[in-house]
Structure formats: C-alpha cells, structure tokens
Amino acid sequence: MMKSKIVLITGASSGIGASTARRLVNDGHKVALTARSEEKLASLVHELGDDVAVAFPADATQYSAIQQVVEDAVAHYGRLDATFANAGVGLSAAGTENGDVDEWDTMIDINIKALLWTAKATLPHLKQSQGHFVLTSSAAGRMSIKGSIYGASKWFAYGFGRNLAEEMAEWQGRCTTICPGMVNTPFFDEPKEDKLQPEDVAEAVSYALNADPRNNVREVFLMPSKMG
C-alpha cells in the first residue's frame, strides 16, 4: 500500500502547480501550497479540503519567506516528504539584443533564485525523511533556441536538477527534473489547446513521486503529440 506523503508545492496557485496539487491529493497525499496569490490559494484549499491541503502565501524569491513557509508546513504536518519546486515565469521580449533587462531580473529571481532557495530550505527536512525533490525545468532547457534567455534559465534548472540528484543520492534521496514542452497555462496570453495540458505535467510528477523507493526517476521529458 502506498504511503501518504506530505508534499510542498511552490507556484501552486494556478496552472501546473494547482493541477499537481489536485492530482497528488487524489493519489492520497497531503499538500502544503505556496504562491503569492492568497486568494487563489485559499480557493484551492477550499476545493481540496483543509484536512489534506494548507496554504502559506509567500514570495518564493525571498529566502526568508520560503524558509518560513517550510517551517510552517513542517509544523502543520509534522514532516516533509517531498517538494515540487514549480514557481516560474517567462518573458514577453525575445532575444538578447531586444530583451528587457528588468524582465530578465525578475525571471532570474523566480526561475533560478527561488529554485535554489526552495532547495536549500527544504533539503534538511527531506534528508530526515529520505525524501524527494521535484523541479520544473522545460524542454527549452534541453535544446538550443535562438536568443532564448528564458531557455537559458531553464538550462540552469535542468543542470541544477541533475547535480542535485547526485547530491541527494548520498543519503538515498531522490530528485526528478520535469521537462515539459509547451503547456496550455496562464503563462501564455492565448490558449494553446493543442499543446500539453497542466494535468499532463501533474501526471508526470505523480509518476515520479509514486515510483517504488528503489526507483529514482531522474528526469521526465514531455512533448505534445501534435507538433507545429
């Protein structure tokens, strides 16, 4: 029988994060949710049930804030078994020459620093439970895309995930890097109905977390069946 896990999800208020929360609760796990939108988190907790979900609104780009979230989550549930570092943002201006440096600054804070802060804050607790760290990179982090600063940030996430997996393996911890292609989320201004859906990524996270402990699923690479 599968053991119920306590899972912290960042970027949990919508899209992939919210879909993953629903999937994991359906799997029998309990979730601690964090994002900046208090209203959206409260609505998701109401939907899932406060016996299996709790919300701690915070800005994941601030280390002290994410550290407090982790402490509050552990105080609430008593332990932490897994983390899904999902917070991320894209760019409206493409390329290097025409890029917006203020957008770059924001993106680096969320896509890189928030990932690092989440790992640093949760690893001591995951070490105690021989737990699991899951992170969202991207297909863009596995291939070269002309002038993509966003892709470069996801290259960082991809490399960090691979390196973290080696670090965690020393104490039988597991680390999984999720690399989805285009996903139909609020990330885009227009719907992308023919692309991956948030539920597809949630399914990948579920697969990795629910794998037998002997099976360290290091990477899940997802692409839409319909290309173009």
Any long-range contacts for 93-99 (C-beta under 8 Å, 24+ apart)?
94/147, 94/148, 95/146, 95/147, 95/149, 96/147, 96/149, 97/147, 99/149
Q: Is 150 a catalytic residue?
A: yes
Contacts of 135 (CB under 8 A, 6+ apart): 84, 85, 86, 115, 119, 157, 160, 161, 164, 175, 176, 177, 178
Among the listed residues 150, 152, 158, the one whose alpha carbon sits nearest the alpha carbon of residue 178:
158
Integer CA distances (angstroms), 108 to 91, 103, 156, in order = 11, 9, 10
Q: Under a CB-based contact definition with an 8 Å cutoff, are residues 219 and 177 in contact?
A: yes
Q: Under a CB-based contact definition with an 8 Å cutoff, are residues 27 and 206 in contact?
A: yes
Active-site hit among 63, 77, 150, 207: 150
Integer CA distances (angstroms), 138 to 1, 24, 65, 190, in order = 32, 21, 25, 19
| Residue 120, φ and ψ in degrees, nearest 5 | -60, -40
Catalytic machinery residues: 150
